[in-house]
Structures are given as structure tokens and as C-alpha cells.
Amino acid sequence: MWQFAAPLFFLLLPLPFLAAWLLPADAKVGGALRVPGTVAASHGAADPSSVATGGRRIVAWIAWIALVTALAGPRVVLPASALPTTGRDLMVVLDLSGSMERTDFSLDGRTVRRLDAMKAVAASFIRGRAGDRVGLIAYADQTYVVSPPSYDVEAVARALDGFAIGLVGRSTAIGDGLGLALRRLSATEAKSRVVLLLSDGVNNAGVSAPRDVATLAREMNVRVHTIAMGPRDVGQGDGNPDVVDVKTLKDIAETAGGRSFWVKTTDDLKAAMAAIDEVEPTRGLAPPAPIWRELWPWPASLAFLATAATALVRRRAG
């Protein structure tokens, strides 16, 4: 199916006529010798200058029409079907602090670091989010956007391969990580905006208080789901430094209208991700997004060639 992205540009087609009518006529008189019409007619000759002028005028009109057509943006729908879109932007915010080196999780029958378990489960979760625009943020002492929101969930999942302890420090700035996610989502026009925040520690770095950022998320109508990862809670009071602040993460989720999970094993983590999949479904929420093939380069090329031909003819005539 043919379509023009900006058909209003065709209103510019009569612009040369308006310019010729509104602008004053050129009053300059050339030095050419005038031949009476009867003499020219008797010899059956046409004025070469008028023929050349007419040809240049036709080429100029071709260039103008082609240029306006290119500006109107001709395009055609490709026959390939597109992925369904949910209208949701989802930011996945993951902890890269030093405690993620703890080897108290399992994967495929092996004892592995928390980081390895998180990467494997998060990659599977992200690949299953077809239809969402998914972004990825890592945080520790500092925070940074690993991948901006994108429909290419496979590319976002592969970005997890580059996660390494120490990349952004070793402390835990939960508030700053959530704040950066909100900053990215504030620039989108998605109907639904969601954050998935995972941490295995206590907020001990950064400048933003997690509960204050959660309040901001609620005001922005952004849902925040949280996952506390680790076998020990800071509220147990046994003095062990390897603890996760379950209460703060739960308060964040409750404040921002999401769900909270405390996972102690890889199976718990998979179950939490599956529960979030159910809360934030990805299927059947919107019709397929059309994929267009842009055709404007063709009339644009014609306009360029016609303009170049006109300039070349004038140069030779001069």
C-alpha cells in the first residue's frame, strides 16, 4: 500500500507560479538583434534561444516536482509481518556491587556467583519481552545506561554479557539506579512505564534516598517491581555484612504500585521473573506495528540530477 508521510508538502507545487506572479518582472533588456516575425516565418526557422529556454523550464519543473514529492515522503508497507507492540517501556535496573561476587546461588547444578545467576535469568526474562521497549541500567557506586529502551530485546539481553564486578564501583546506590531509570522514562510517551529493580545489598552510596525516588515514581505514574536477592535480611540483626535490605525494597514497590520479591535461590529468582511476566503481559495488547519502506531517495535523486543538468546547460550557454 502506497502512502505519503507528509502529503501537505504537495501544497508547495504552485509556489513557482505564485513567485512569478508576485515578484516584479525583470525589466532588463538584452542586446540581441530583433528579427521581424515575418522574416523568421518566411525562412521556417525557430528562435534557438526560446527553444533552449523552454527546455530548461521543463527540466526545472521536473526538478521541482521531484523535490516536493521527496519531501512528501513516499513509502510503501512491507509485506512482512511486524512484532506486536505493547505500548510499554520497561527499564531493568541491576545491581553490580561487590557483593554480587558471592557464590551462594546455583545454575545448571553448579554453584555460581550471584552475578552469573542474575545474568542468566535476566537475559531469559528480557528475551521474553517481545513487544516491549526494554532498557538496561547497571548501578553500584555510579549508574550508567547499558542499553536505552529498544524493541531489539535480543541485543539488550546480549548486553548483559559485558557485566563485570567493579565496572561501576563496588558499593550499592539503589536510589541513584532507580533515579536514572525514571530520568530515561520521563522522556518517553509510552502508555505504560515500568521499572524492574534488583538489589542484593543495602543502599550505602549515591545521593538519592530510595524511598524519595519511589515517591517520585508514583507521581510519574511509573510502576516499580523490586527483587531482593540474598539469603539474609538486614533486619535479622546478626551483624553479617552480607545482607539485603528487604524492607526498603518492599517499601519502594508498595509506594510505586509494584510487587516485591525476596529470592534466596536461583529457582526463587526464576519464579519472581515469571510472576512479573504475568503482572506485565506482553501479548495481544496492541495491533502489529507497520514497517515502512521509504521511497523518498528516488525522487530526491531525480531532483538532484535535473538541477545539476540545468546548471550544466546554463554554464555552457554562458
Global pTM? 0.66
Q: Which three cell numbers stand for residue 232?
A: 539474609
Q: SS3 sequence, the chain?
A: CEEECCHHHHHHCCHHHHHHHHCCCCCCCCCCCCCCHHHHHHHCCCCHHHHHHHHHHHHHHHHHHHHHHHHHCEEEECCCCCCECCCEEEEEEEECCHHHHCCCEEECCEEECHHHHHHHHHHHHHHCCCCCEEEEEEECCCEEEEEEEECCHHHHHHHHHHCCCCCCCCCCCHHHHHHHHHHHHHCCCCCEEEEEEEECCCCCCCCCCHHHHHHHHHHCCCEEEEEEECCCEHHHCCCCCCCECHHHHHHHHHHCCCCEEEECCHHHHHHHHHHHHHHCCCCCCCCECCCEEECCHHHHHHHHHHHHHHHHHHHHHC
Taking only the tens of pLDDT, the chain with its 318 residues reads 778 989 999 999 998 888 878 876 654 444 444 444 444 444 455 555 565 677 778 888 899 999 999 999 999 877 655 556 788 999 999 999 999 999 999 999 999 999 999 999 999 999 999 889 999 999 999 999 999 999 999 999 999 999 999 888 999 999 999 999 999 999 888 989 999 999 999 999 999 999 999 999 999 999 999 999 999 998 776 667 789 999 999 999 999 999 999 999 999 999 999 999 999 987 654 555 667 789 989 999 999 998 888 888 777 766
Residues 211, 152 share a domain: yes
| pLDDT of the residue at 27 | 46
Judge contact between 232 and 240, C-beta under 8 A: yes
Q: Tell whether 53 is covered by a domain.
A: yes
- pLDDT of 30: 47
**What's the pLDDT at 317?**
65
Number of domains in the chain: 2
Whether residues 230 and 272 share a domain: the answer is yes
Q: Is residue 176 part of a domain?
A: yes
Pairing of the two strands 292-294 and 74-77: antiparallel
96 and 225 inside one domain: yes
Residues near 179 by beta carbon (within 8 Å), at least 6 away in sequence: 143, 208, 213, 216
Q: Does 197 share its domain with 92?
A: yes
Q: Are residues 183 and 257 in the same domain?
A: yes
Residues 103, 218 within the same domain = yes
- The predicted pLDDT at position 308 comes to 87
In a domain, 177, yes or no: yes
Instruction: Please provide the distance, in angstroms rounded to a whole number, between the alpha carbons at the two ends of the chain.
Output: 46
Q: Is residue 284 part of a domain?
A: no
Q: Write the Ramachandran bin of 300: left for phi over 0, alpha for psi from -120 to 50, otherwise beta.
A: alpha
Question: Are residues 131 and 274 both part of a single domain?
Answer: yes
Q: Is 27 domain-assigned?
A: yes
Q: Tell me, yes or no, whether 285 lies in a domain.
A: no
Looking at residue 284, what is its pLDDT? 52
Q: Which among 6, 27, 19 is positioned nearest to 296, based on CA atoms?
A: 6
162 and 310 share a domain?
Answer: no
Asked whether residue 133 falls in the same domain as residue 257, the answer is: yes
Q: Report the pLDDT value the prediction gives residue 37, as an integer from 0 to 100.
A: 45
Evaluate whether residue 42 is within a structural domain: yes
The pLDDT of residue 237 is 62
Specify whether the backbone of 291 is left (phi greater than 0), alpha (psi in -120 to 50) or beta: beta
Q: Is 125:261 a contact under the CB 8 Å cutoff?
A: no
Same structural domain, 300 and 196: no
- Domain assignment of residue 108, given as a range: 88-279
**Shared domain check, 252 and 142:** yes
57 and 182 together in one domain? no
Which domain CATH number covers 179? 3.40.50.410
